[in-house]
Amino acid sequence: MSKISKNTLNLIYRAGLLDAVHPLWANRLTVLAYHRIADPNGAGFDTFEPNVSATPAAFAAQMDFIRQRFNVISGRDLVAWLQGEQSLPTHPLLITFDDGYRDNLDHAWPVLQQRNMPAVIFLATNYIGQATPFYWDLIAYCFYHTTKQEADLPLIGLQQWHDKASRTAVLKKWLNSLKKLPDQEKWTAVNQLPRLLDVSISPDTFAGLHLTWDQVRTMTATGIEMGAHTQSHPILTRVSLAQARQELEGSKNRIEAEINQPVKLFAYPNGLSTDFNADLQTILAQLNFAAAFTLLPGPTQPAEAQQKPLAIRRIFLHHQDTLPRFAAKVMGLPRLLKPSG
């Protein structure tokens, strides 16, 4: 869809062409993948901008768009359907959030409550209630606050930047290189960055970035479901199967103990085709997960979801998505243009 111009998307949206074909796709399962709901251009924002899925205002507009065209289901509805216990409504849609950021509570939860819309939040449990940042947020913070304009970085060597755009390009280049490393090597490199960029990190620098367990319980009591997203958020194909099992089981057990409810849903960290495999799906099945979610582009045909319940597609969202672009994604235009994708 990147080849479709903004003007073309606007024309398609305003002409009502997406709404015109929407009834033809009534049975497809649509799962939205959000991360953060925040304003990356707001005062004080100094963490990883690409992880922001929508501003608060855009999220509210997106939810209004959704409830006019889709039937929003819960994670429990999906599990019951996968297990043959109930059918799904036409145009079923599931709303999900990854990681467990505090802004899900501050900005997404009120919008969902006002519209009586359920959702699932996938928690990386080692970060809940902690001031420990995800590595991408630590990296972004260091690049935001450094006064340096060059650094000799592990993996990619001497890098220079002179403005926000070039600094962001270096940040993304290094982050992409880090993702290819085994988890322990990745953190060894990341932990060097504050020194290399001469940035001070205090124990409370990232306080309040993530949900607490009390907040998780509050949201759970109002119909927001919690799913597992590992303990420490490694890319699971980059760790041993024994460590992967520990990450999966530990995350599931911790959430169940905290909220006193079974956890049946899981989302793969990073979620691309190289980030999960049959061995991981076997472990998930052994741990009684009923469904697992990727970031392979959706929507999903019902038969595919039933055949591959541990590899369900989702639609990745970004704060630069205009409402016409959001509409095109949610209505399945990218998959329509690439039906084999």
CB proximity list for 21: less than 8 A, separation 6 or greater: 331
Query: Residue 134 has what pLDDT?
Result: 97
In this prediction, residue 341 has a pLDDT band, given cuts at 50, 70 and 90, of very low
Query: Residue 22 has what pLDDT?
Result: 80
Query: Residue 311 has what pLDDT?
Result: 98
Query: Residue 89 has what pLDDT?
Result: 97
Tell me the H-state helices in the chain: 6-14, 17-21, 56-69, 75-82, 103, 109-115, 135-145, 164-178, 183-190, 193-197, 213-220, 241-259, 278-286, 302-307, 323-330, 333-337
At 214-250, the pLDDT tens digits run 999 999 999 999 999 999 999 999 999 999 999 999 9
**Is the domain defined by 6-131+207-217+227-244+295-303+311-337 classed in CATH 3.20.20.370?**
yes
- Residue 105 pLDDT exceeds 90: yes
- Residue 340 pLDDT exceeds 50: no
**Residue 124 tokens, joined:** 């990386």
Contact 290, 82 (CB under 8 A): yes
- Pick from 297, 307, 275, 330: nearest CA to 94: 330
Output phi, psi for 293, to 5 deg: -120, 140
Cis? peptide before 299, omega within 30° of 0: yes
- The Cβ of residue 8 has, within 10 Å, a number of other Cβ atoms equal to 12
Query: Residue 7 has what pLDDT?
Result: 72
Output phi, psi for 242, to 5 deg: -65, -45
Q: How far is CA 218 from CA 179, 226, 258, in A?
A: 34, 11, 11
Q: What average pLDDT does the chain have?
A: 94
Contact 322, 286 (CB under 8 A): no
Domain ranges of the chain: 6-131+207-217+227-244+295-303+311-337, 135-197
**pTM of the model as a whole:** 0.94
Determine the angle formed by the axes of helices 164-178 and 183-190, rounding to 10 degrees.
150
HSE-up of residue 26 (Cα within 13 Å, Cβ side)? 5
Query: Residue 253 has what pLDDT?
Result: 99
